[in-house]
């Protein structure tokens, strides 16, 4: 007789001392895991519900400015510090970890501070500001001496332009910066006059942004509804894109140097490939009022936009609708938004003079996670991703409390768009000329034309 019966030694399955971890043998045999599909679905539903339960995106409101915040800059070399410029000409540097202003310059400009930017490179804490007082100023927390009244710090350098400035951006590596006013000017920091003036058309420009990866390219947008790309090497424009409504802000994708996003007056955010601008590579539509600012996450996969409808929206760059909407009762029209460099937070500056700090992912917990916690979170993410198309899970994941005004406006907007569409269809049916005209894809609708030089 040959016989063996199962006999497990208790010592093999229990821990020796209390400091050991418990042994948990696993067996992946499907027969041991009945109803796994239904249980997985239930877990996915629970994960979706927990996500919405823990979704508390608002972290802090930093008050101090007495007028609205109209410009903001993050520093790629410093996670903590954020520079803001206000409507009354005040500049502040905020520490996000301390949640307070660490430096301020009241009356830095006369009138609105239209743009701020940091001087790249980790070895300097200089930053630039421009205002409607036709001045561009360089500031530093460490170098600048305090003025006689002990309050307003002295500038490190200042440059005076011919027109009121509307935006500023610094070159990634060279001591150059670009300003926008009625024309785009490129300045050498060591000269008092601009070294190049770039124009294409006569209208004023809203803003200028330098590409931080493909460093010789910069883009500006103007009130003539144009977005113009320039090349620094030839000091001449490359291409001009004219849209149906004007663009308020531009953001370059930090990972794909040829992609940029524009915040448009027509409530949409467009992303473009600068090599082929005859169509947008994506149209992000959810806002119900003009989009005032847009910024890429450092990964280049996500976007944040702030709008005149008093909300922020977060987007996946490849999707057409926002993945989240942030708002508070007190937040007014949003004029500037930034993704922080660690991809974890979003900042917004609005009309109500507060700088607000938000989580980039509403339900994500802060701080270090244990391995088990991280594994659980990853599992939950995967489950949600897997079952996101099922009605129950989708309903939970998509549910958002939206301000009544936004909801109303979006309903009205939807009606308008639908009736327009219906009308176009009816025209198509009834008139031969209309029927013969080609249909315009959504990604081309907002674009009037592209000219290259």
Partner 1 sequence: MATRSGGAAKKRAEPDDELAAEIKQRAQKYRRAKEGAGGKVRSKKEAAAVGHARRRREEAAEAAARSEVLLTEQAGFLEAEGMERTYKFTQKQIADNVDIGSASRIFDLQLGEFGPYAIDYSGDGRHLLLGGRKGHLATVDWRNARLGCELHVRETVRSVCWLHNQTLFAAAQKKYAYIYDQSGAEVHCLRKHEEPTALGFLRHHFLLASTGMSGRVVYQDVTEGKVVGEHRSGHGPAHVLRVNPYNAVVHVGHGNGTVSLWAPQQSLPLAKLLCHKGPVQAVAVDGVHMATSGLDGRVKVWDVRALGVLHEYRTGRPAQSLDISQRGLLAAGYGPHVTVWKDALATRAGDAYMQRLLPATSVQTLRFAPYEDVLGYGHSGGVSSILVPGAGEPNFDALVANPFQTTRQRQEAEVKLLLDKLPADTIQLDPTFVGRLDPRSHAERQREQLAEGRARYAQDKADGKYRDGAVRNKTKGRNSTAKRYARKRQTNVTDLKKLQTMERMEKELRQAEAAKRPRPAHEKGALAQFYTEKARLDG
At 377, which helix (H) or strand (E)? Answer: helix 371-387
The answer to whether 117 touches 168, Cβ cutoff 8 Å, is yes
Assigned token pair, 157: 């350098």
Whose Cβ is closer to partner 1: residue 69's or residue 393's? 393
Shortest distance, CB of residue 47 to partner 1, whole angstroms? 10
Whose Cβ is closer to partner 1: residue 193's or residue 425's? 425
CA distance 178 to 231: 12
Shortest distance, CB of residue 36 to partner 1, whole angstroms? 8
Shortest distance, CB of residue 253 to partner 1, whole angstroms? 19
Whose Cβ is closer to partner 1: residue 39's or residue 407's? 39
Read out DSSP for 217-269? EEEEEETTSEEEEEETTTTEEEEEEEESS-EEEEEE-SSSTTEEEEEETTSEE
Whose Cβ is closer to partner 1: residue 280's or residue 325's? 280
Closest CA to 105 of 121, 128, 123: 128
Shortest distance, CB of residue 391 to partner 1, whole angstroms? 11
At 304, which helix (H) or strand (E)? Answer: strand 302-307
The answer to whether 126 touches 138, Cβ cutoff 8 Å, is yes
Say how many residues make up the chain: 453
The answer to whether 376 touches 384, Cβ cutoff 8 Å, is no
Distances in Å between the alpha carbon of 115 and those of 73, 111, 355, 358, 370? Answer: 8, 12, 16, 22, 41
Task: Name the site residues for partner 1 (rule: CB under 8 A).
Answer: 1-8, 10, 12-14, 22-35, 37-43, 46, 387, 390, 426, 429-430
Shortest distance, CB of residue 280 to partner 1, whole angstroms? 17
CA distance 138 to 118: 9
Whose Cβ is closer to partner 1: residue 318's or residue 412's? 318
CA distance 345 to 297: 9
Shortest distance, CB of residue 118 to partner 1, whole angstroms? 37
The answer to whether 260 touches 219, Cβ cutoff 8 Å, is yes
The answer to whether 240 touches 450, Cβ cutoff 8 Å, is yes
Shortest distance, CB of residue 191 to partner 1, whole angstroms? 50
Shortest distance, CB of residue 32 to partner 1, whole angstroms? 5
Shortest distance, CB of residue 260 to partner 1, whole angstroms? 22
The answer to whether 91 touches 73, Cβ cutoff 8 Å, is no
The answer to whether 271 touches 260, Cβ cutoff 8 Å, is yes
- The answer for residues whose C-beta is within 8 angstroms of residue 390's C-beta and 6 or more apart is 41, 44
Whose Cβ is closer to partner 1: residue 23's or residue 329's? 23
Whose Cβ is closer to partner 1: residue 235's or residue 418's? 418
Shortest distance, CB of residue 2 to partner 1, whole angstroms? 4
Convert 313-334 into a string of H (helix), E (strand) and C (coil): EEEECCCCCEEEEECCCCCCCE
**Residue 270 bridge partners (DSSP):** 262, 283
Shortest distance, CB of residue 395 to partner 1, whole angstroms? 15
Whose Cβ is closer to partner 1: residue 434's or residue 448's? 434
Tokens 């244990």 locate to 370
Whose Cβ is closer to partner 1: residue 287's or residue 384's? 384
Shortest distance, CB of residue 37 to partner 1, whole angstroms? 5
Whose Cβ is closer to partner 1: residue 42's or residue 408's? 42
Whose Cβ is closer to partner 1: residue 163's or residue 428's? 428
CA distance 133 to 150: 23
DSSP 300: S
Whose Cβ is closer to partner 1: residue 15's or residue 369's? 15
Strand 100-105 to 91-95 pairing: antiparallel
CA distance 447 to 240: 11
């Amino acid at each position: 007789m040959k016989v063996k019966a199962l006999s497990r030694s208790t010592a093999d399955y229990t821990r020796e001392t209390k400091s050991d971890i418990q042994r948990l043998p696993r067996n992946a045999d499907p027969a041991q895991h009945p109803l796994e599909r239904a249980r997985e679905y239930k877990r996915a539903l629970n994960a979706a519900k927990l996500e919405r339960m823990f979704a508390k995106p608002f972290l802090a409101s930093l008050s101090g400015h007495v007028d609205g915040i109209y410009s903001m800059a993050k520093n790629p070399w410093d996670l903590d510090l954020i520079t803001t410029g206000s409507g009354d000409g005040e500049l502040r540097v905020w520490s996000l970890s301390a949640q307070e202003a660490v430096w301020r310059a009241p009356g830095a400009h006369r009138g609105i501070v239209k743009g701020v930017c940091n001087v790249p490179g980790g070895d300097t804490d200089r930053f630039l500001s421009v205002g409607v007082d036709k001045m561009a100023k360089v500031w530093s927390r460490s170098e600048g001496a305090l003025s006689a009244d002990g309050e307003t710090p002295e500038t490190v350098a200042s440059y005076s332009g011919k027109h009121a400035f509307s935006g500023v951006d610094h070159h990634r590596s060279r001591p150059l910066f670009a300003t926008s006013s009625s024309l785009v000017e490129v300045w050498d920091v060591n000269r008092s006059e601009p070294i190049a003036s770039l124009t294409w058309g006569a209208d004023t420009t809203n803003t200028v942004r330098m590409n931080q990866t493909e460093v010789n390219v910069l883009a500006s947008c103007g009130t003539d509804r144009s977005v113009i790309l320039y090349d620094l090497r030839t000091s001449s424009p490359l291409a001009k894109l004219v849209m149906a409504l004007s663009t308020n802000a531009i953001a370059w994708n930090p990972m794909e140097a040829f992609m940029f996003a524009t915040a448009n007056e027509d409530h949409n955010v467009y992303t473009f490939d600068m090599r082929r601008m005859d169509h947008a590579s994506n149209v992000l539509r959810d806002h119900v009022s003009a989009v005032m600012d847009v910024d890429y996450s450092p990964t280049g996969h996500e976007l944040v936009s702030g709008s005149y409808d008093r909300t922020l929206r977060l987007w996946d760059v490849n999707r057409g609708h926002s993945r989240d909407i942030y708002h508070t009762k007190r937040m007014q029209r949003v004029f500037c938004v930034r993704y922080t460099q660690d991809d974890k937070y979003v900042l917004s500056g609005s009309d109500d003079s507060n700088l607000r700090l938000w989580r980039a992912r509403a339900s994500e917990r802060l701080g270090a996670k244990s391995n088990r916690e991280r594994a659980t979170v990853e599992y939950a993410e995967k489950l949600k991703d897997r079952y996101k198309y099922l009605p129950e899970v989708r309903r939970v994941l998509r549910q958002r409390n939206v301000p009544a005004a936004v909801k109303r406006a979006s309903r009205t907007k939807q009606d308008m768009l639908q009736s327009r569409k219906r009308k176009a269809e009816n025209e198509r049916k009834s008139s031969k000329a209309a029927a013969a005209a080609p249909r315009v894809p959504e990604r081309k609708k907002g674009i009037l034309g592209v000219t290259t030089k």
